[in-house]
Amino acid sequence: NGALHTISATSGNGEIALDTAGTKRLRIDSSGRVLIGTDSSRMTRSQGSGYHGQLQLESNGEAALTMTRFGGPHPSRLNLQHARGTIASIAAAQNDDDLGQITFSGWDGSNFTNGSEITTEVDGVVGVNSMPSRLIFKTAAVNSNIPTERLRITSDGKVGIGLFSSLIYQLEVKT
């Protein structure tokens, strides 16, 4: 169709970029971060401290990640995985380790500020083919950027709302 498509490696700043129709679409920066729809990495906050995600997608239109699997009974998957050790010497997760987190944030005028999160933590002794876990739901109160635990589902299926340690009954609600 005659549109300009280029791949460029800029030696001065150590990045690789992909352009289509004369517009930069994807960039791998000098830190190895993959940036889609943006020229620079944007800091994200978690519990008040910042970090830069290794994959960042920004758009003035639609910013969506779509995964579709066709055929067979198995679903599309998003796997958040955690291990101790290093890539070369992997080690088992331990009780209370965070296994994964999904954070929901909104722009407050100067930063993306945390509103709520869903976290999974190890909830007991880890063994071969055994990863006991708890699922935690958090929301931030007015004038706060740190989500607070509101609901917990433990590895044995107990649910705590406003009460999170030493759950005895299947459902416990702090009033």
Q: Which tens digits make up the pLDDT trace of 60-102?
A: 888 888 888 888 888 888 888 999 999 999 999 999 999 999 9
Asked whether the beta carbons of 36 and 25 are under 8 A apart, the reply is yes
What is the C-alpha R_g of the chain? 21
**Top-confidence residue, 133 or 27:** 133
Instruction: Quote the pLDDT of residue 22.
Output: 78
* pLDDT of residue 13 exceeding 80: no
Q: What are phi and psi of 168, to 5 degrees?
A: -105, -45
pTM exceeds cut of 0.75: yes
Instruction: Quote the pLDDT of residue 72.
Output: 84
Q: What is the rounded CA–CA span in Å between residue 162 and residue 152? A: 8
* pLDDT of residue 1 exceeding 60: no
**Top-confidence residue, 110 or 11:** 110
pLDDT tens digits, 117-135: 999 999 999 999 999 999 9
**Pairing label, strands 34-36, 55-57:** parallel
Residue with tokens 């993959």: 34
Averaged over 164-171, what is the pLDDT? 90
Q: What is the rounded CA–CA span in Å between residue 146 and residue 49? A: 10
Average per-residue pLDDT in the chain? 87
Q: DSSP letters of 157-172?
A: S-EEES--SS--SSEE
CA dihedral 152, 156, 157, 162 (to 10 degrees): -30
What is the share, in percent, of the chain residues with pLDDT greater than 70?
91
CB under 8 Å to 116, separation ≥6 — which residues?
103, 104, 137, 138, 139, 140, 147
* pLDDT of residue 4 exceeding 70: no
Question: SS3 string of 7-70?
Answer: EEEECCCCEEEEEECCEEEEEECCCCCEEECCCCCCEEEECCEEEECCEEECCCCCCCCCCCCC
Q: What is the rounded CA–CA span in Å between residue 107 and residue 45? A: 11
